[in-house]
Amino acid sequence: MKATPARRLFGTNGVRGIVNKELTPQLALQLSEAIGTFFGRTIGRSKILLGWDGRTSSPMLADLAASGLVSAGCTVYEAGLAPTPAIQYLTKAHSFNGAVMVTASHNPPEYNGIKVIDSDGIELPPEGELLIEKIYFKKEAVLRDWKGLGERLPVHDGLEAYRQAIREKVDESTISRSRPKIVIDPANGVGTLVTPYLCRELGCQVTTINSNIDGTFPGRLPEPTPANLETLSKIVRSSGADLGVAHDGDADRAIFVDGGGLVHWGDRSFALITEHYLKNHSGEEIVTPVSSSSVIEDVASKYGGKVVWTPVGSINVSRTMAKIGAKLGGEENGGIFYAPHIPVRDGAMATALILEIMASSREKLSTLMGRLPRYFNVKDRVPCPERLKSKVLKQLREEVKGIKVETIDGVKVWHEDRGWILVRPSGTEPIYRLFAEAMSTEKAQDLVSRYKKILSNIIRKSGRRS
Ligand code: MG
């Protein structure tokens, strides 16, 4: 893979930071002027869709983004509060030239971010982000005179169109006949504007918790980890519901809870969706980052599918899918990418697919999950100075020569009994992240311990030599 020069503002998910500390009003405005200039350069007067999540800082930042874009001559169509995937869907479906989404996804309430979407609905590729950074740092934004300013226009019925698009991708009558009872926890985020309505339209009996939009996240933190989903889990169990669904703050992820209150991690729901999809589309390619569980490969090979591995990060899954024309992708964190709708992660689309699987199989989620092969994961980290990172990775590749490895992102090494370990340098901290999977926790822990030793040795030796 060709190396792209490092970006200074954009991270893996747009420009993120603590509001008024790292992400200041000045940065938001000038960045938006640069974004507007970027789109204007290639397109002339561009049509940009703007959406934002429910954070306390989102209206302030969205206003600044709108002003920056308008000053650079863009016509800004304001969709308002909306899930990120709704903005991505509408960008493509309604032929906008691009979009700006103000969101910090699953981060704590003090954060916010600005994400730039390309005309195909997928996050802008790194080359585009670099061009925007260049305009920003070199102060090359082109601000129009009074005759050339853009306008701010409202968008009507965007979320209805988005819900309708999801409904068309699933078997509504089968879901509706089974009348599933579902509890939805959107974490006081923008998922509340879509998923409860969508599920009612699909014939579900819907209960919601944490469903008023509140940027202080009073119900739970916006990351849908099992520790944050205890209330959802209790309510699903005590109310006799068939399914619980939890979103992150901008509802591009969905994590599912079975009727017994058990939280199932995202690679398992992705495996169920893979199975369901490949049953009808045998031999197709399934796209997922190297960090995903072997359960995906197990299911794919059972139904004649092929797994295509990507570097970690949702944009890599989306861009790979678009490039090879794959229809399904997924991430272990609860991101499902369904290209017949849009190849970006989408929490509402994932929910509709899980409802379709339960209704068409007439099985409980716990039964469906119980049939999947079971793996166990252990995570750890090893400190490593930034200057040694690439040298250490090279050395590690040497050490594992002869063993089956995947080097698309860090080093993933396969071991006996379907065990594997992924060693990746962190992009933001002076550490290496270790992530192991095996048939038992002990075996996964053993892999982590072995590689911690190997890495520490390499780091010590490289430090001495440099
Ligand atoms: Mg998110």
Q: Which pair of tokens denotes residue 64?
A: 């600044």
Question: Which residue(s) pair with 50 in the sheet?
Answer: 78, 100
In the prediction, which pLDDT does 4 show? 57
Query: CB-based contacts of 8: which residues, under 8 Å, 6+ apart?
Result: 133, 137
Domain 161-370, CATH number (from 3.40.50.11610, 3.30.56.10, 3.40.120.10, 3.90.1010.10): 3.40.120.10
Q: Is the pLDDT of residue 219 over 90?
A: yes
pLDDT top residue among 242 and 4: 242
| Pairing of the two strands 254-258 and 263-264 | antiparallel
Tell how far CA 461 is from the center of its chain.
37
Give how far Cα 96 sits from Cα of 43, 48, 99, 119, 142, Å. Answer: 11, 6, 7, 6, 21
146 CB neighbour count, 10 Å cutoff: 5
Give dist(CA 351, CA 10) in Å, integer.
30
- Tens of pLDDT, residues 308-366: 999 999 999 999 999 999 999 999 999 999 999 999 999 999 999 999 999 999 999 99
Helix or strand run (H / E) with residue 329: strand 328-330
What is the distance in A from the centroid of ligand 1 to the CA of 24? 21
| pLDDT given at position 27 | 97
Burial (CB count within 10 angstroms: exposed 0-12, middle 13-18, buried 19+), residue 339: middle
In the reported structure, the alpha carbon of residue 171 is separated from the centroid of ligand 1 by a whole-number distance in angstroms of 26
For residue 44, pLDDT beyond 80 = no
DSSP state of 85: H
In the reported structure, the alpha carbon of residue 249 is separated from the centroid of ligand 1 by a whole-number distance in angstroms of 6
Give the β-pairing of 111-118 and 98-102.
Answer: antiparallel
Which are the contacts of 48, defined by CB distance < 8 A and separation ≥ 6? 35, 36, 39, 69, 74, 75, 76, 77, 96, 97, 98, 99, 100
Domain regions of the chain by residue span: 15-156, 161-370, 376-465
User: Mind listing the pLDDT tens digit for each residue in 258-284?
Assistant: 999 999 999 999 999 999 999 999 999
Distances in whole angstroms, Cα of residue 237 to Cα of each of 108, 176, 228: 28, 22, 16
Tell me the CA–centroid distance for residue 334 and ligand 1, in Å. Answer: 10
CB 308 within 8 A of CB 286: yes
Helix axes 84-93, 158-167, angle to 10 degrees: 90
pLDDT at 428: 75
Q: pLDDT tens for residues 420-439?
A: 999 999 877 899 999 999 99
68 Cα–ligand 1 center, Å: 24
Task: State the distance from the centre of ligand 1 to the C-alpha of 17, rounded, in angstroms.
Answer: 15
CA of 112 to the centre of ligand 1 (A): 12
CA 62 – CA 68 distance, rounded (Å): 10
Give the mean pLDDT of 87-96. Answer: 98
For residue 253, pLDDT beyond 80? yes
Indicate the class that CATH gives domain 376-465: alpha beta
Nearest C-alpha neighbor of 31 from the set 7, 43, 11, 15:
15
Predicted confidence at residue 466, as pLDDT, reads 60
What is the distance in A from the centroid of ligand 1 to the CA of 335?
8
- The gap from C-alpha 317 to its chain's centroid, in whole angstroms, comes to 9
> What is the 274 CA–ligand 1 centroid distance (Å)?
21
User: What pLDDT, in 10s, does the model give residues 116-129?
Assistant: 999 999 999 999 99
Res 464: pLDDT? 78
Mean pLDDT of the chain: 95
Residue 147's pLDDT band, with cuts at 50, 70 and 90, is very high
Asked if 15-156 and 161-370 have one fold, the answer is yes
Residue 293 a catalytic site member: no
Averaged pLDDT for residues 196-222: 98
Nearest of 252, 317, 266 to residue 289 by alpha carbon:
317
**Backbone φ and ψ of 38, nearest 5°:** -55, -50
Residue 463 pLDDT grade (very low, low, confident, very high; cuts 50, 70, 90): confident
Residue labelled with tokens 């926790």:
441
The answer to whether 293 and 276 have CB atoms below 8 angstroms apart is no
Res 1 pLDDT > 50? no
Question: Ligand 1 centroid to 404 CA: how many Å?
Answer: 33
Q: 15-156 — its CATH code?
A: 3.40.120.10
Q: What is the 3-state secondary structure (H, E, C) of 395-411?
A: HHHHHCCCCCEECCCCE
Q: Which of 67, 105, 293, 314 is catalytic?
A: 105
What's the pTM? 0.95
